[in-house]
Amino acid sequence: MPVTAVVGLQWGDEGKGKLTDALCPGAHCVVRCQGGSNAGHTIVVGDVTYKLRIMPSGIVQDGPLAVVGSGVVVDPDVLLQEMDTLRASGIDVERVRLSQRAHVILPHHRALDGAAEDAKGANAIGTTRQGIGPAYVDRANRTGIRVEDLLNLDRLRERLEPALKLANHTLTTYYHSDPVSLDDVVTAASAWGKALAPYITDTEQLIHASLGRGERVVLEGAQGALLDVDHGSYPYVTSSSTVTGGLLAGAGVGPSSVDSVVGIAKAYTTRVGGGPFPSEVDGVAHDHLATRGHEFGTVTGRPRRCGWLDIAALRHATQLTGATSIVLTKLDVLSGLSSIPLFEPKEGSENLTPLAGWDDDLTRVAHYADLPRQARDYVETVRSLVGIPISHVSVGPERTQLLTVS
Ligand code: IMP
């Protein structure tokens, strides 16, 4: 059972990229399964920082095939630019495999996403405006364009024409925005098809062949369980299934192949965009977390909302994902707080349990046992409240700043 799934247990930005990278040595392939360029996964190797939006994070490691699965919605311009940037950094992008069944984000999807957000005013979801929602709408509506259509422009034009007519009607009459030209999209699609053709394949077959040989496959989730379209804080969610079941569907793999589900959670909580956030803080506490944690969105640059670790939400996320272990990231950001509240809604009493803080800088600590006692107490308290083993803690962005909990 050689599949490891990496899932976010909060509202995204938990550090899945770093963990996926760490799990990839020895893997035959690493798969992005859902979402698209709304994601921003960061991997730091020495002086080089890689910021990936569509590519699976394992591409930074030598060896694994980098698969973009059928559940992903692909913006070809973003993908091609990402491949160029990686190539320029000396990364072998010939290992990229793009599912023929993945859906394509087209200019009218981005236009509709932005126009819908503008029209909602104060009720906006706060999407990344990358066209993710409208592309998934077309997928569910059976009017979407798939990657394989980029290789057959007659078919693409035939399928796109009615869908674009509808989108343009909405854009012009409802949102009073500019229409998108069919000819322009077909011209762009022709260039995308030529550039991406060498990478387009049946990725499910590739993954099954790998599993058949007993090779390890890593599934990389994007966003987090609390942004799941079904189980998140609807309607303030993304439009894909971000829990482990969604990853499996997006990769085309059955659950019996999975032997571990690594849930990633920050040692505190952040959220970008609108929606409920029970443990949110402001003032000095917010400034501490935001400044030390560099809490700005990777894709949009928006400041992230910050709060304490929400134990009830974390426990729920482990149930939704079936996490078999947790990696607690950014523990170093909590240094310098005299006390660190853990948030757990309790009927009729205080929601916050304060734990003792610590002053020591954790970023240079190389072994878990060398962390200050209060930091280990914090990790142990989280473990016992959530009821899932914590396998590692991360104390900085570098690959090496990952401590095995002993
Ligand atoms: P969308 O996925 O762009 O439609 O945005 C829907 C919601 O999900 C918004 O609140 C976004 O800020 C949030 N979101 C989407 N992708 C990410 C991510 O990778 N990290 C954190 N939040 C995200």
Question: Can you tell me which atom of ligand 1 is nearest the CA of 38?
Answer: 16
151 Cβ closer than 6 Å to some ligand 1 atom: no
Separation CA 385–CA 315 (nearest Å): 8
Separation CA 138–CA 82 (nearest Å): 25
Mutate to test the pocket of ligand 1, among 75, 78, 238 (most ligand atoms within 8 A of CB): 238
14 Cβ closer than 6 Å to some ligand 1 atom: no
For 295-338, list the strands marked E by DSSP.
305-307, 309-310, 325-329
Strand partners, 262: 6, 325
User: What confidence score (pLDDT) does residue 83 get?
Assistant: 96
| Ligand 1 centroid distance, CA of 227 (Å) | 7
Q: Are 397 and 18 contacting, i.e. CB atoms less than 8 angstroms apart?
A: yes
12 Cβ closer than 6 Å to some ligand 1 atom: yes
The answer to whether the pTM exceeds 0.85 is: yes
The single residue of 21, 28, 41, 392 carrying the catalytic annotation is 41
Residue nearest ligand 1's atom 5 by CA? 127
Closest CA to 20 of 221, 241, 223, 198: 221
13 as an active site residue: the answer is yes
Residue nearest ligand 1's atom 8 by CA? 238
Q: Give the DSSP letter of residue 296.
A: B
| Ligand 1 centroid distance, CA of 35 (Å) | 9
| Ligand 1 centroid distance, CA of 239 (Å) | 9
112 Cβ closer than 6 Å to some ligand 1 atom: no
| Ligand 1 centroid distance, CA of 312 (Å) | 21
Reading the block at residue 69, the tokens are: 């699965």
| Ligand 1 centroid distance, CA of 128 (Å) | 6
34 Cβ closer than 6 Å to some ligand 1 atom: no
133 Cβ closer than 6 Å to some ligand 1 atom: yes
264 Cβ closer than 6 Å to some ligand 1 atom: no
221 Cβ closer than 6 Å to some ligand 1 atom: no
222 Cβ closer than 6 Å to some ligand 1 atom: yes
- Tell how far CA 9 is from the center of its chain: 11
User: What is the chain's pLDDT, residue by residue, as a tens digit (406 residues)?
Assistant: 599 999 999 999 999 999 999 999 999 999 999 999 999 888 898 899 999 999 999 999 999 999 999 999 999 999 999 999 999 999 999 999 999 999 999 999 999 999 999 999 999 999 999 999 999 999 999 999 999 999 999 999 999 999 999 999 999 999 999 999 999 999 999 999 999 999 999 999 999 999 999 999 999 999 999 999 999 999 999 999 999 999 999 999 999 999 999 999 999 999 999 999 999 999 999 999 999 999 998 888 889 999 999 999 999 999 999 999 999 999 999 999 999 999 998 877 778 889 999 999 999 999 999 999 999 999 999 999 999 999 999 999 999 999 999 8
| Ligand 1 centroid distance, CA of 369 (Å) | 36
Query: Token pair 């083993």 is at which residue?
Result: 389
Separation CA 397–CA 46 (nearest Å): 10
272 Cβ closer than 6 Å to some ligand 1 atom: yes
| Ligand 1 centroid distance, CA of 26 (Å) | 31
Closest CA to 293 of 276, 277, 271: 271
| Ligand 1 centroid distance, CA of 272 (Å) | 7
41 as an active site residue: the answer is yes
Reading the block at residue 280, the tokens are: 């949110």
Residue type, 204: E
Mutate to test the pocket of ligand 1, among 52, 54, 73, 223 (most ligand atoms within 8 A of CB): 223
Q: Are 401 and 395 contacting, i.e. CB atoms less than 8 angstroms apart?
A: yes
CA angle, corner 264, sides to 94 and 140, nearest 5? Answer: 65
- Those residues with Cβ within 8 angstroms of residue 207's Cβ, 6 or more apart along the chain or in another chain: 29, 31, 67, 69, 217, 251, 252, 253
